[in-house]
Structure 1
Amino acid sequence: MATLLLLVLAASPVALAPPRPAHADAGRGGTSPHPSAAPVPVLAYYYIWFNPTSWNRAKIDYPLLGHYSSDDVEIMRRHIRMAKTAGINGFLVSWKHTPQLDERLAKLVEVAREEKFRLGIVYQGLDFSRTPLAFDTVRTDLSFFASRYATEPVFDIFGRPLVIWTGSDRFTAAQIEETVGGVRGKLLVLGNAKNLEDVESSHGVLDGQAYYWSSVDPVAGTSAAKLTAMSRAVHQRGGLWIAPVTPGFDARLVGGKREVPRRNGDTLRASFAAARLSEPDAIGVISWNEFSENTHIEPSERFGSTDINVLADLLGVRVDVDVPVDSSEPGDGGHWGLTASGALLFAGAAVVLLPLGVAFRRRRPPVARDGRTAGTGPDDPSADPW
Structure 2
Amino acid sequence: MFLSCAKSSPKSNPVTPIDPVVTNPDTTKSLVKTDAKPVVKTNSQKVYVHYMPWFEDKTTSGTGKWGQHWTMANQNPDIVLANGRRQIASHYYPMTGPYASSDRDIIDYQLLLMKYAGIDGVIVDWNGSHNVYDYPLIKRNTDSLFSRMPGVGLQFGICYEDASLVNVNKVTGEDMVTAAKEDFAYLQTNYFKSSNYITISGQPLLLDFGPQGLKSAIDWQQAFSGLTIRPRLLSLLYQGDVTGSAGSGEFFWVGATDPAPINDFYNNRSKTLATAFAGAYPGFHDFYKEGGWGNNLFTINYNGTGTMQSTLNLAKNSNLPYLQLITWNDYGEGTMIEPTLDFNFDFLVTIQQYTGVKYTQTELELIYKWYTLRKKYVGNASAQSQLTQAYSYLASLDVDKAREIIEKL
The yes-or-no answer on 1:232 pairing with 2:271 is yes
Structure 1 range deviating more: 130-139 or 50-59: 130-139
Counterpart for residue 18 of structure 1: none
Alignment map for 1:72-111 (pairs within 5 Å): 72-95=103-126, 96-97=128-129, 98-111=135-148
Looking at structure 2, the residues matched to 246 and 43 of structure 1 have their Cα atoms a distance apart, in angstroms, of 12
The equivalences for 1:61-80 within 5 A come to: 61-80=92-111
Kept in 2: contact 1:249–1:295 (CA 8 A): yes
The alignment status of 1:139 with 2:193, answered yes or no, reads no
Find out whether 1:48 has 2:53 as its counterpart.
Answer: yes
Task: State whether residues 168 and 176 of structure 1, in contact with CA within 8 Å, keep that contact through their aligned partners in structure 2.
Answer: no
Instruction: Output aligned runs, 1:276-287, within 5 Å.
Output: 276-287=316-327
1:210 is aligned, of 219, 236, 251, to 251
Q: Cα offset for 1:126?
A: 1.2
Normalised to the residue count of structure 2, the TM-score between the two structures is 0.64
- The one-letter amino acid paired with 1:114 is G
1:99 Cα deviation after fit: 3.3
Dislocated runs of 4+, deviation >4 Å: 128-133
Q: Deviation at 1:60?
A: 1.1
SS of aligned partner of 1:283: strand
SS state of the match for residue 124, structure 2? strand
Classify the secondary structure of the residue corresponding to 2:324: strand
CA RMSD of aligned residues (A): 2.7
Q: Which amino acid aligns with 1:259?
A: T
Structure 1 match to 2:285: 250
**1:276 deviation in Å?**
2.4
Q: Which residue of 2 aligns with 1:166?
A: 209
Structure 1, residues 280-325: CA drift from partner, whole Å, max 9, x if none?
A: 2310000001100000100112222221111111112234323125
2:43 and 2:356 in contact (8 A); partners too: no
Q: What letter matches 2:335 in structure 1?
A: T
Secondary structure, aligned partner of 2:255? coil
**Bigger radius of gyration among the two:** 2
- Residue 337 of structure 2 is matched in structure 1 by 297
Q: Which residue of 2 aligns with 1:344?
A: none
Deviations 1:328-385 (A, max 9, x none): 323459xxxxxxxxxxxxxxxxxxxxxxxxxxxxxxxxxxxxxxxxxxxxxxxxxxxx
Measured in 1, the distance between the counterparts of 2:110 and 2:43 equals 27
> Partners in 2 of 1:222 and 1:167 — Cα distance?
17
| 265-274 vs 221-230, greater mean Cα deviation | 221-230
Distance 1:227 1:272 in 2: 13
Give the aligned residue type for 1:330.
L
Q: In structure 2, the residue corresponding to 1:168 is in which secondary structure?
A: coil
Secondary structure of the structure 2 residue equivalent to 1:153:
coil
Equivalenced residues, count: 288
- Partner residue in 1 for 2:393: 329
Residue 214 of structure 1 contacts residue 295 of structure 1 at CA under 8 Å; is this kept in 2?
no
Q: Tell me which residue corresponds to 1:123.
A: 160
8 Å CA contact 1:118, 1:157 repeated in 2: no
- What is the rounded CA distance, in whole Å, between the counterparts of 1:247 and 1:130 in structure 2? 31
Instruction: Tell me by how many angstroms 1:111 deviates.
Output: 0.9
What is the match of residue 29 of structure 1? none
Q: Alpha carbons of 1:156 and 1:123: their partners in 2 closer, same or farther (altered >3 Å)? A: same
Matched residue of 2:122: which SS? strand
Q: Is 1:313 aligned to 2:353, yes or no? A: yes
Q: Distance in 2 between matches of 1:231 and 1:295?
A: 23
Q: Indicate the residue corresponding to 2:18 in structure 1.
A: none
3-state SS of 2:279 partner: strand
Q: CA deviation at 1:129?
A: 8.6
Change (3 A) 1:142 1:303: same
User: Do residues 176 (structure 1) and 220 (structure 2) align?
Assistant: yes
Aligned 8 A contact 2:328 2:338 in 1: yes
Q: 2:195 matched to which residue of 1?
A: 153
Question: Aligned partner of 1:223: which letter?
Answer: I
Structure 2 counterpart of 1:310, which letter? T
SS state at 1:148 partner: helix
Query: What is the deviation of 1:229?
Result: 1.8
Q: Which amino acid aligns with 2:184?
A: L
TM-score by length of 1: 0.68
Counterpart of 2:364 in 1: which secondary structure? coil
Q: What amino acid sits opposite 1:275 in the alignment?
A: A
Whether contact under 8 Å (2:90, 2:287) holds in the other structure is no
Inter-CA distance 332–39: structure 2 relative to 1 (3 Å threshold): farther
Paired residues of 1:250 and 1:259 also in contact (CA < 8 A): yes
Among all aligned residue pairs of Structure 1 and Structure 2, give the percentage whose two residues are the same amino acid.
Answer: 19
